[in-house]
Amino acid sequence: MVSPDGGPVEDEASSAGNPDVDAREAFSLLGHEIRLEILLALLEDWVAIYTEPKSYAELMEAVGIRDSGKFNYHLDQLRGVYVRKVEDGYVPTASATALYRAVLAHRPTEPFAFDPTPIDADCPICGGGTVLRYERGFVSVDCEDCEEWIGFTYSFPRNGFESHDADDLLDVLDARVRHDLALARQDLCPDCSGSTTVDLRIDALGTDTPWKEPLDADAHWVELDCDTCSFTVGMDVVSAVVTDDRVAAALREIGVDPDRPLWALPAGRSRLESRDPPRLAVDLERDAGTVTVVVDAELTVESVTVRSS
Ligand SMILES: [Zn+2]
Ligand SMILES: [Zn+2]
């Protein structure tokens, strides 16, 4: 259902992000031992905005270098990008601390293997058993018994395995996905705070599709993409808007618990309500009735209706 951060279908080379941000230059600045020592000395005692700046002399001593010409040269290279001069000395920039936190979260130098683990959750399509996997920073849940369910994939820092077992992990992962989705729907990328763009993928419905003709629910999903970094999340319309109170209430009316994990929510059938302006309708049919949700191009819920059967 969900494939964030350049998920399984995306070519890695194409997810390099915004070409205006010069990643090569930023990384190349770190390629020197003295610069690394300066940065690590600053990050060692880092406590967000409350960090005491390190004076020039303290920094020089921490790095263990006596040649001030050499020290100045490398400090200067880092200035602006990773190091900032303030009144009482030097502090790391937000870029430096973000890189540091990424390393703490993903522990790139610690080998970590997680064997596929059966979990206490049923496949939403066939009811069969499911298995949890962890590869390259992504948690995924797949059905062991059928090919019909596309499964669920989402990024999760390796650090999260320290305090959560496989079953526990699903709950915190769902909380994380809902949180990220809520931000992304408000035009704020959860990874980089850049703007996000909604893609209703109307063209995926087929240009020849007669209007209001039901479409194959499994074949349609919508996307929320960051305009700056590689954050991208794809999901069915019901999952995308389930945090809307009206949608949640309507789902309860037809016996669907809106609080179950997003990946276990039933997907509705998408149809094109209007091409201009773009509007998608999704019908979710259960024994107790049918919920119809209409969303606009920004994934804002326009209307929710419940028809009892
Ligand atoms: Zn299945
Ligand atoms: Zn972003």
Task: Report how far ligand 1's centroid is from the alpha carbon of 127 (Å).
Answer: 6
Domain assignment of residue 2, yes or no: no
Task: Report how far ligand 2's centroid is from the alpha carbon of 297 (Å).
Answer: 20
Identity (one letter) of the amino acid at 187? D
Task: Report how far ligand 1's centroid is from the alpha carbon of 142 (Å).
Answer: 8
158 and 75 part of one domain = no
Question: Among 54, 78, 105, which residue terminates a domain?
Answer: 105
Domain assignment of residue 6, yes or no: no
Task: Report how far ligand 2's centroid is from the alpha carbon of 110 (Å).
Answer: 26
Domain assignment of residue 13, yes or no: no
What is the C-alpha separation between 133 and 88, in angstroms, rounded?
Answer: 48
What is the reported pLDDT for 297?
A: 93
Find the ligand nearest to 126 CA.
1
277 and 140 part of one domain = yes
Residue with tokens 């009735």: 289
Length of the chain equals 309
Q: How many of the other CB atoms lie within 10 Å of CB of 196?
A: 23
23 and 77 part of one domain = yes
Find the ligand nearest to 188 CA.
2
32 and 60 part of one domain = yes
7 band by pLDDT with thresholds 50, 70 and 90: very low
What is the reported pLDDT for 300?
A: 94
Mean pLDDT of 226-251: 93
134 and 265 part of one domain = yes
Domain assignment of residue 254, yes or no: yes
Task: Report how far ligand 2's centroid is from the alpha carbon of 156 (Å).
Answer: 16
Residue with tokens 């991208």: 232
61 band by pLDDT with thresholds 50, 70 and 90: very high
Find, among 2, 102, 91, 108, the residue nearest to 43 by Cα.
91
Find the ligand nearest to 17 CA.
2
Domain assignment of residue 65, yes or no: yes
CA 307 and chain centroid, separation? 34
Find the ligand nearest to 15 CA.
2
Find the ligand nearest to 124 CA.
1
90 and 190 part of one domain = no
Domain assignment of residue 280, yes or no: yes
Task: Report how far ligand 2's centroid is from the alpha carbon of 75 (Å).
Answer: 29
Find the ligand nearest to 4 CA.
2
Find the ligand nearest to 148 CA.
1
Quick: pLDDT tens for 160-186.
988 888 778 888 999 999 999 999 999
77 and 48 part of one domain = yes
Find, among 220, 223, 224, 200, the residue nearest to 275 by Cα.
200
What's the CATH number where 35 sits? 1.10.10.10
Question: Among 105, 140, 175, which residue terminates a domain?
Answer: 105
pLDDT at residue 8 tops 80: no
Task: Report how far ligand 1's centroid is from the alpha carbon of 122 (Å).
Answer: 8
56 and 132 part of one domain = no
pLDDT at residue 4 tops 70: no
Q: How many of the other CB atoms lie within 10 Å of CB of 189?
A: 21
What is the reported pLDDT for 44?
A: 85
What is the C-alpha separation between 131 and 125, in angstroms, rounded?
Answer: 14
What is the reported pLDDT for 45?
A: 79
Domain assignment of residue 11, yes or no: no
Three-state DSSP state, 193: coil
Find the ligand nearest to 226 CA.
2
Lowest mean pLDDT among 121-125, 191-195, 241-245, 275-279: 121-125
pLDDT at residue 208 tops 50: no
29 and 153 part of one domain = no
C-beta separation of 131 from 119 below 8 A: yes
pLDDT at residue 155 tops 70: yes
Find the ligand nearest to 142 CA.
1
Task: Report how far ligand 1's centroid is from the alpha carbon of 121 (Å).
Answer: 11
Task: Report how far ligand 2's centroid is from the alpha carbon of 160 (Å).
Answer: 21
Domain assignment of residue 193, yes or no: yes
Domain coverage including residue 252 = 117-308
pLDDT at residue 9 tops 90: no
Lowest mean pLDDT among 5-14, 37-46, 76-85, 193-202: 5-14
305 band by pLDDT with thresholds 50, 70 and 90: very high
Task: Name the β-bridge partners of 235.
Answer: 222
Task: Report how far ligand 2's centroid is from the alpha carbon of 194 (Å).
Answer: 5
Task: Report how far ligand 1's centroid is from the alpha carbon of 290 (Å).
Answer: 24
Task: Report how far ligand 1's centroid is from the alpha carbon of 151 (Å).
Answer: 9
213 and 72 part of one domain = no
DSSP one-letter code for 260: S
17 band by pLDDT with thresholds 50, 70 and 90: very low
170 and 96 part of one domain = no
* Count of structural domains, the chain: 2
| Mean pLDDT taken over the chain | 86
What is the reported pLDDT for 216?
A: 53
Question: Among 105, 139, 173, which residue terminates a domain?
Answer: 105
What is the C-alpha separation between 83 and 226, in angstroms, rounded?
Answer: 27
47 and 163 part of one domain = no
Task: Report how far ligand 2's centroid is from the alpha carbon of 118 (Å).
Answer: 32
What is the reported pLDDT for 110?
A: 87
Task: Report how far ligand 1's centroid is from the alpha carbon of 294 (Å).
Answer: 28
